[in-house]
Structure 1
Amino acid sequence: MPTAGPARAEPFDAAVTGIGMVTAGGVGTPATWERVREAAGTAAREVPELAGVPVGFGCVVPGFDAAALIGRRKAWRLDRSNQFAVAAALEAVADAGLDPSGWDGARVGVVLGCGLGGAGSWEKQYDVLRETGPQKVSPMLIPMLVPNMSAGYVAMEVGARGPNLVTATACASGTTAVGTARELLRSGACDVVITGGTESCVVPSISTGFSQMGALSERHDDPAGASRPFDSGRDGFVLAEGAAVLVLERSGDAAARGARVRARVSGYGASGDAHNATAPDPEGAGAELAVRAALADAGLEPGDIDHVNAHGTSTPLNDMMECRLIRRVLGDRPSVTSVKGVLGHALGAAGAIEAAVTALTLEHALVPPTANLDSQDPEIDLDVVAKAPREGEVRAAVSNSFGFGGQNAVLLLTRA
């Protein structure tokens, strides 16, 4: 057996020069950031499409007009998850001040995360097949269904001809994508990478599947209070949809063109629990490997971390595991928040949404509160921000993501 690990790579910062978001908090980064800062309960409501299934509420994107945002002719061919990805990517590229008509597309990559792909389209077209026969099934079913098309459609929209892929690590997919994108910059394979995650699975089959597992909150009489990470009364997560896209560049390239840098992705770590298909390792041993790898990658120590954007699903097992992990590795100094209290759990997009919020936290020196944290679980002895945003300098932050199959992915972001 080897006695030493591989040599540590030189620290590498990827500049976040653009952010685009489509979430249950609203369409566009300003709308989502404002909703997360307010933390006025969960952005959940009864969803007509979920009528008749055990849990009929979820966090859906309000007022999303795909035709207006990406064009009617494009919109009808795309699954809703792909529509989200394209809309968020267009916002992010514009926010970065980049003009796709003038870049070398061969040097621009796209890496997005997606856990389930076009579940809504699959479900709808299966109903068509069952009720009216195969002749009525859309010829666009497969392009709407397969997860890789989110990256494919984004590339088509902006002329990105570099590496193009989708990561699927369950609820860690968006975080895995951002970490992978950073490696493409570090290796020299790309000069710009459009990265993040997308998901739209607030549909009967997916909601029922999670409900049958006992994973969803059953606060039918209070959807706005249903997602409550770290609270004594938490009883499961709230299913959500959305997307977030970040534009990453090498720091030197961003500086050379005078770009605004919102934050930097300075470290990334990934690991597996090798424990259980759906339950996390109770002590977070696998997740700890990912956190420590992100710290080592950034060349930072645990005491350097000021803030943790937690996975914080509002499930009894995950929140307790994450508490033990944070206490053991980072201590009790960092402030902690979970935006799932507001936005719900967007599965494969969650890590990307949380990476974007972490970047905004660093940029604005403001930690958004955890919604619905009325009575913090006494066993969760962390400094969880609640009730109101907390102002103050945040120099380095960790964003955690964990998924089924024991997938763990952690980003370390630093202030620009």
Structure 2
Amino acid sequence: MTEPPHRAAITGLAAVSALGRGAQAQLAGALAGAAAFGPVRRFDTGGRRVADAATLADAGTLADELTGVIEEACAGLSTAERAETPLLLGVHGHPDAGRSTTATTAGFARDLAARTGLAGVARIYTCACVSGSTAVADAAAEIRDGRSGRVVVAAGYLVEPDQFALFDAGRALANDGAARPFSSCRSGLLLGDAVSAVVLEPFGARETLAEVAGWGRAGDAHHVVRPDPEGAGMVRAVEAALRRGGIGPADVGYVNANASGADGDSAEAAALRRVFGAAQPPVSSTKSVHGHGLEGSGLLELVITVLAAQAGKVPVNVGHLGPDPACDLDLVLDGPRNAASPYALTVNAAFGGANTALLVRSV
């Protein structure tokens, strides 16, 4: 396999969720299996079927929280370095777009770049639950091909009434106060705050936290909201990530799954069984502790996956009530395990059949 011109490294990261502020709070919560779900206090849930989510009590506005994580992730960059670094941003849209005729997502993104001293916004990703992971794949490709010397990727979602109402009306939310990925008797997902940022640079530019060794993206175009039952798109995304990383299925030490506790978990399990066969790695979904952060999910899960790989640990899959024969995987249930490999995979899926896979290697 030909060595790429540049290897893509993560040199800075930061995150905020209901697990707390700072990247280490995310890792601690994921390893402890400390689910952060509880009644929503941020807005009125009266009349809703479900009233629970994973929200941070002292969360500010989305603009303020994104500014904070970008500033933290970029702490090692000089003012001049920031001024030449573009931003890739994953968001649902401008938080006030439904309440103002002048609020635009592009304007929100430009203001965010100006607040943090970055060169500007190269792209905005509004592709639902694969927004953050798609942005990382694009950034890694630019670094590897020598088209960019540094990229900041940020993504964020704070639980708010509009999306909460839509998911509740669609009966997609768990009615028992817990997200139970891959479990029997799972009843749906729960939303959660997820705001994160990472800095990608060529390997060796400065101290490296992890390498983005591979990535893959694929669509299955099976249904508007349901994945292909056999996980065809997820299979192609994972295989592409492994191929770019130059490794085989047996080299992967952990998979942070997309699973949210919904019906689609079985399709993802089918995909993972198909890719890994007898070499099944340990699997968990950290959505079981921090909830589903929509556009912010992929990046938050990447941050946790990187930190877990650094620590040589595999996070717990919380909320499990019993095995589902359709989700026959090596689930991490009784406590964190020691990782058997420096390689870890985080996968995401979104409405419309979009699938992403990011392969990281601890260094």
In which range does the TM-score fall when normalised by the shorter chain? Answer: over 0.9
Return the alpha-carbon distance in structure 1 between the equivalents of residues 86 and 222 of structure 2. 34
The reply to whether residue 63 of structure 1 matches residue 58 of structure 2 is: yes
- Which of these residues, 187, 191, 197, is aligned with residue 245 of structure 1? 197
Offset of 1:150 from its aligned partner? 5.4
SS at match of 1:411: strand
Q: Output the TM-score relative to the length of structure 1.
A: 0.81
**Alpha carbons of structure 1 residues 392 and 399: separation in structure 2 relative to 1, 3 Å:** closer
CA contact (8 A) 1:82 1:149 kept: no
Aligned to 1:210: 167
- Which of these residues, 67, 73, 79, is aligned with residue 92 of structure 1? 73
Aligned to 2:63: 82
Q: Larger radius of gyration, structure 1 or 2?
A: 1
Gaps of 5+ in 2: none
Partner amino acid, structure 2, of 1:61: L
Return the alpha-carbon distance in structure 1 between the equivalents of residues 45 and 97 of structure 2. 16
**Alpha carbons of structure 1 residues 217 and 148: separation in structure 2 relative to 1, 3 Å:** farther
**Alpha carbons of structure 1 residues 28 and 281: separation in structure 2 relative to 1, 3 Å:** same
- Which of these residues, 38, 47, 59, is aligned with residue 44 of structure 1? 38
The reply to whether residue 118 of structure 1 matches residue 76 of structure 2 is: no
Map 1:213-232 onto structure 2 (within 5 A). Answer: 213-219=170-176, 223=177, 226-232=178-184
Return the alpha-carbon distance in structure 1 between the equivalents of residues 310 and 271 of structure 2. 26
The reply to whether residue 369 of structure 1 matches residue 326 of structure 2 is: no
Aligned to 1:234: 186
Partner amino acid, structure 2, of 1:320: S
Partner amino acid, structure 2, of 1:216: L
The reply to whether residue 156 of structure 1 matches residue 122 of structure 2 is: no
Q: Output the TM-score relative to the length of structure 2.
A: 0.93
CA deviations on 1:35-59 (whole Å, 9 max, x unpaired) are 2221133433233432222322211
Greater helix fraction, Structure 1 or Structure 2 = 1
SS at match of 1:398: strand
CA contact (8 A) 1:167 1:174 kept: yes
SS at match of 2:239: helix
The reply to whether residue 326 of structure 1 matches residue 264 of structure 2 is: no
**Alpha carbons of structure 1 residues 152 and 58: separation in structure 2 relative to 1, 3 Å:** same
Provide the alpha-carbon RMSD of the alignment.
2.1
Partner amino acid, structure 2, of 1:44: G
- Which of these residues, 89, 105, 113, is aligned with residue 147 of structure 1? 105
Partner amino acid, structure 1, of 2:231: G
SS at match of 2:181: coil
**Alpha carbons of structure 1 residues 384 and 155: separation in structure 2 relative to 1, 3 Å:** same
Return the alpha-carbon distance in structure 1 between the equivalents of residues 109 and 97 of structure 2. 19
Aligned to 1:24: 18
CA contact (8 A) 1:11 1:297 kept: no
SS at match of 1:50: coil
**Alpha carbons of structure 1 residues 365 and 348: separation in structure 2 relative to 1, 3 Å:** same
Map 1:337-348 onto structure 2 (within 5 A). Answer: 337-348=284-295
Return the alpha-carbon distance in structure 1 between the equivalents of residues 163 and 31 of structure 2. 29
Offset of 1:391 from its aligned partner? 2.1
CA contact (8 A) 1:81 1:118 kept: no
CA deviations on 1:77-118 (whole Å, 9 max, x unpaired) are xxx322222111111112xx222x242623x1211222x223
Aligned to 1:54: 49
Return the alpha-carbon distance in structure 2 between the equivalents of residues 11 and 54 of structure 1. 53
SS at match of 2:16: strand
Return the alpha-carbon distance in structure 2 between the equivalents of residues 149 and 370 of structure 1. 39
Mean Cα deviation higher: 239-248 or 278-287: 239-248
Map 1:344-355 onto structure 2 (within 5 A). Answer: 344-355=291-302
Paired residues in the alignment total 361
**Alpha carbons of structure 1 residues 23 and 87: separation in structure 2 relative to 1, 3 Å:** same
CA contact (8 A) 2:284 2:316 kept: yes
Offset of 1:9 from its aligned partner? 8.1
Return the alpha-carbon distance in structure 1 between the equivalents of residues 168 and 107 of structure 2. 28
